[in-house]
Amino acid sequence: MSDYKSGETDQNFEIDMEQDEELSGCNLYDDCGNRGCCRKCRCCCRGATGPQGPTGAQGPTGPQGLSGPTGATGPQGLSGATGPTGPQGLSGATGATGPQGLSGATGATGPQGPTGATGPQGLSGATGATGPQGLSGATGATGSQGPTGATGPQGLSGATGATGPQGLSGATGATGPQGLSGATGPQGLTGATGPQGPSGATGATGPQGLSGATGATGPQGPSGATGATGPTGPQGEALSTIYLASDQSLPSGGWMGIGTSGSSFVRSSVVTPASGRITEFVFSIRDKVLGTGDTVTATIYYSGCGFGDPVSTGIEAVVRGPVNAVTQNCCVHVTGNFQFEDCRLLSVQVRTSLGVGALSDGAAAAIIITA
């Protein structure tokens, strides 16, 4: 059976032939009768090339071959033209906040600042007066000089006895003859410290020093608590106004309503909203001209429900002539004091003096009420 495999390349075939020829000068014949078979008895004959067979299935990938040596670096190509700038990319999301860094080491303590200058020495207080000198005691009599004895050894110091009371000073005796100087005795023990003498009187107070500069203003203190609310003041009087006016000719004896006028109290009246007092009344005849001595009188009337005749409140305003463009005294303001209940009807009746006639442009009135 032939060892030739149909998948081998022509290159492999030629290499096998060269190797067989070099090794043994093979002159063997293969099973086909062709010379040139290799010593391995593999069939090396090839007939005419047949048609291309179908492509076999993809074989497994062979192992990675060794990398060939790196070729020499080619010359640097020319830099291409810079492309247009791309659109601005979207901003990336904000990264998470990193952990808190460690606190830095405490800095070294700064050098000691220079010592401030010493303030001036204050004035010394005046020295107190010296107390009186005590009387000196009388000097005792000097005893006779005895013979000097031999100096004995230094004895141990005995305990200091309590100080006895001070004896009375004896009278000074006559001075005896000067005795011979005796040998110097041993150093006596130091006497106990005497009591502290009384303190001297306090000196007079020195003069007042100059005042120091005013210190900086301290911080604002906290606000104090809110004080208690004061008592409520007395209730003031509530005011309200009822306006009446007519937009048409108003004859003598006519009644004023809200924008109207007529011959009926009931039809021209308005109602009071609450109990109160009529304290003021204002009345104007507008541009009606009055001669000297002419008058126009307006009177406030009231009624319960309009049954029967209305009752006068006694409050009336009188406009007196002359009234014209020069005098400008077409209005009068009067005060009153009439108490009424709520749900009462009010209206104003206008009467003119003889010869005045109707108020061609009507009139206006205001009734001021306090609760």
pLDDT of residue 119: 53
**Can you give the pLDDT at residue 265?**
96
- Report pLDDT for 38: 47
pLDDT of residue 15: 41
Specify the pLDDT at position 54.
83
Taking the model in full, what pTM does it have? 0.39
Q: Is the pLDDT at 338 greater than 70, yes or no?
A: yes
How much is the mean pLDDT over the chain? 74
Q: What is the pLDDT of residue 343?
A: 94
Q: Which domains does the chain have, with CATH numbers?
A: 1-47 (no CATH), 239-370 (2.60.120.40)
Please report the DSSP string for 322-361 in residue order. -BSTTT---EEEEEEEEEE-SS-EEEEEEEE-TTT--BTT
Which of the two residues, 98 and 287, has the higher pLDDT score? Answer: 287
Q: What is the pLDDT of residue 330?
A: 96
DSSP string computed for 258-298? EE-EES-HHHH-EE-SS-EEEEEEEEE-TT--B-TT-EEEE
Residue 292 has pLDDT above 70, yes or no: yes
Residue 84's pLDDT band (cuts 50, 70, 90): confident
Q: Taking residues 133-161, what's their average pLDDT?
A: 56
Looking at residue 126, its pLDDT comes to: 60
User: Among 74-83, 132-141, 346-355, where is mean pLDDT lowest?
Assistant: 132-141
* Greater pLDDT, 144 or 351: 351
| Residue predicted with more confidence, 266 or 89 | 266
3-state helix, strand, coil in the chain (%, to 5): 5, 20, 75
Q: How far apart are CA 163 and CA 197, in angstroms?
A: 18
More confident site: 209 or 335: 335
Predicted confidence band at 291 (pLDDT cuts at 50, 70, 90)? very high
Counting residues of the chain whose pLDDT is more than 90, the rounded percentage is 35
Lowest mean pLDDT among 60-64, 109-113, 316-320: 109-113
Own/partner pairs, 222-229, CB within 8 angstroms, 24+ separation: none
Percent of the chain scored above 70 by pLDDT? 55
Residue found under tokens 């078979």: 37
Tell me, what's the pLDDT at 301? 98
DSSP single-letter state for residue 248: S
Give the pLDDT confidence of 168-178 residue by residue, as tens digits: 655 665 666 77
Lowest mean pLDDT among 82-91, 216-225, 332-341, 361-370: 82-91
Q: What average pLDDT does the segment 152-162 reach? A: 57
- Mean pLDDT lowest for which of 51-60, 122-131, 191-200, 317-326? 122-131
Whether 90 shows a pLDDT value over 80: the answer reads: no
* 157 Cβ contact list (under 8 Å, min separation 6): 189
Q: Which residue has the tokens 């020069």?
A: 326
Q: What are phi and psi of 39, to 5 degrees?
A: -65, -20
